[in-house]
Structure 1
Amino acid sequence: MHTGAFSDIDWDKDGKQVGFFSFPYSIDRSPYYQIKMPVCRIKNGDGPSLVLMAGNHGDEYEGELTLLKAIRLIEATDIRGALTILPAANTPAVMAAKRCSPFDGGNMNRSFPGNPYGGPTQRMAHYIEHEIFPRHEVVLDLHSGGTSMDHLICSLIERSGDGERFARGLELMKAMRLPYGMIADNGPDSPTSMAAALRAGCIALSGEFGGGATATKTTMAVTQRAVDNLLRAVGITDRPILHTDADRGPETIVLSTGGQSLFVYAEREGWFEPAVEIGDNVAAGDVAGWLHDLERPLEAPETLHFQEGGIVLSRRLHTHSQSGDSLLNLARFA
């Protein structure tokens, strides 16, 4: 297999370029096939540098649509420094409307630091971490719950051992002005894009902007406002471009992730009825929901309880569940 990657982007050139990062991957119907990852590079002299990335999971649309709008609207004269936009990072997954790649089953956000000699997802992850991220100061990877999950709208930062970088990241996370902001503790060896950005020397930011593999008027407005706020906070722009409403959003309430005790899992097949909504505050011992069995209509449902208190962060959208499915997840107040 050819392991090279091709790019028609000149990193040092001022102006606006739209092109592809191309990854050769021979398939049955096309021996010389290339996976074409779209990219927009906008540069105007020296200054701050930022990666805006979406489509890490293919069925998360708020970020993908927001970054397409950014590519159309932002010109070099609107910025100072450099902006690299990846609207469909895991392009095969995006085109298949799936969380993971149809070529190799690869979940890009579990594939970093990647492998230049691996399958397509591993090779694209390697290119992003080693060729794209190190050229920038800040990375924002936009996510949502995707097909199977609803998620509290929030920004996200990974805790870093570099105190100065973590403090600046926390400042930028709050500047995005989402209702909530989460501090994650996945560690420097995590296979996620945020850990990859930290390993590349960047400030790593992310966010969850909705769920259900759809985009709504509300989630699109929130996403566009958050990106505008970050562009201004980093110093790349002086004015909103994507979302021109004067309201910059609420003050951010900071949360933290935790261990497995914050999850509620199905331990057998069943049909889940939740007792809570996204954003609800719950206490340890509260009822999380009920797992019904449609094959045994006279059998009482299993009542599920929270092990800890917190705020409801995510909820499984598919009612029919298998053993091992995460039904609900909490975050703690920091």
Structure 2
Amino acid sequence: MVGGSHEKFRTESVSPAESSGKRPVAAEMGWNGSVSPRGVKRTRFAVERVLNQLGLINTASQPADPSLQVFIPAGGNLLSPGDGWFEPVVEIGDEVQAGDLAGWLHRLSEPEAIPQAIHFKVKGRVYSQRTFGATSQGNSLAVLVQNLSNKERS
């Protein structure tokens, strides 16, 4: 969730708030730039908690879900080995192991070529995945996270 006044907001969904002199609040309410019912619900409760904390409203707010502390392990950012079209075979939230298939790289410049299998290098949970199919060498295809242990949290 982001609040404030910034030039980039002028072309975004918070423009009406900006143009009327109000401070905009923006949030990612889904995965990969999408909107989901779960994301909208979580955002609504988060905004309610913030407004309560600031003293702007006084309502019984729903407690936040317990949060996990995660980290991106070495090798957790899967990069495209070349240009083409990436076809993922996993979804956000999936647990994967090192060596599991992440997807296929179709080289559009070589339509007769067999798609290249792309494998995860480490285990983890898929935290994010490329929104667009088109990719270039070095683009992030997926990011894996692992949970911090209780010892690592302190």
Q: State the TM-score, normalized to the length of structure 2.
A: 0.71
Aligned to 2:2: 53
Report the CA distance between 1:230 and its aligned residue. 4.5
Whether the 8 Å CA contact 1:228–1:240 is kept in 2: the answer is: no
Does the residue aligned with 1:261 lie in a helix, a strand or coil?
Answer: coil
Structure ranking higher in helix proportion: 1
Q: How does 1:266-281 map to 2 (within 5 A)?
A: 266-281=80-95
Letter in 2 for 1:239: T
The answer to whether 1:94 aligns with 2:9 is: yes
The answer to whether 1:225 aligns with 2:45 is: yes
Report the CA distance between 1:253 and its aligned residue. 4.6
The answer to whether 1:210 aligns with 2:54 is: no
State the Cα deviation string for residues 13-43 of structure 1 (Å, max 9, x = none).
xxxxxxxxxxxxxxxxxxxxxxxxxxxxxxx
The answer to whether 1:331 aligns with 2:151 is: no
The answer to whether 1:294 aligns with 2:108 is: yes
Report the CA distance between 1:286 and its aligned residue. 1.0
Report the CA distance between 1:293 and its aligned residue. 1.3
Q: 1:95, 1:221 → 2: CA distance?
A: 26
Pick closer, same or farther for the CA change 1:143–1:309 going to 2, 3 Å: farther
Q: 2:130, 2:139 → 1: CA distance?
A: 8
Pick closer, same or farther for the CA change 1:254–1:218 going to 2, 3 Å: closer
Identity of aligned residues (%): 27
Q: How does 1:59-98 map to 2 (within 5 A)?
A: 86=4, 89-91=5-7, 93-97=8-12
Pick closer, same or farther for the CA change 1:259–1:225 going to 2, 3 Å: same
Q: 1:317, 1:302 → 2: CA distance?
A: 19
Question: Which of 256, 259, 267 is the equivalent residue of 2:70?
Answer: 256
Whether the 8 Å CA contact 2:84–2:105 is kept in 1: the answer is: yes
Letter in 2 for 1:90: H
Q: 2:34, 2:44 → 1: CA distance?
A: 15
Does the residue aligned with 1:272 lie in a helix, a strand or coil?
Answer: strand
Whether the 8 Å CA contact 2:106–2:114 is kept in 1: the answer is: yes
Letter in 2 for 1:220: V
Q: Give the superposed CA RMSD.
A: 2.8
Does the residue aligned with 2:126 lie in a helix, a strand or coil?
Answer: strand
Aligned residue pairs total: 135
Pick closer, same or farther for the CA change 1:254–1:277 going to 2, 3 Å: same
Pick closer, same or farther for the CA change 1:260–1:142 going to 2, 3 Å: farther
Does the residue aligned with 1:299 lie in a helix, a strand or coil?
Answer: coil
Q: State the TM-score, normalized to the length of structure 1.
A: 0.36
Letter in 1 for 2:79: Y
Structure 1: where are the runs of 5+ without partners?
1-51, 55-85, 98-140, 145-208, 242-247
Question: Which of 297, 313, 327 is the equivalent residue of 2:127?
Answer: 313
Whether the 8 Å CA contact 2:73–2:145 is kept in 1: the answer is: no
Pick closer, same or farther for the CA change 1:298–1:307 going to 2, 3 Å: same
Does the residue aligned with 1:279 lie in a helix, a strand or coil?
Answer: coil
Report the CA distance between 1:304 and its aligned residue. 1.1
More relative contact order, 1 or 2 (CA 8 Å, 6+ apart): 2
Structure 2: where are the runs of 5+ without partners?
13-24, 149-154
Whether the 8 Å CA contact 2:46–2:64 is kept in 1: the answer is: no
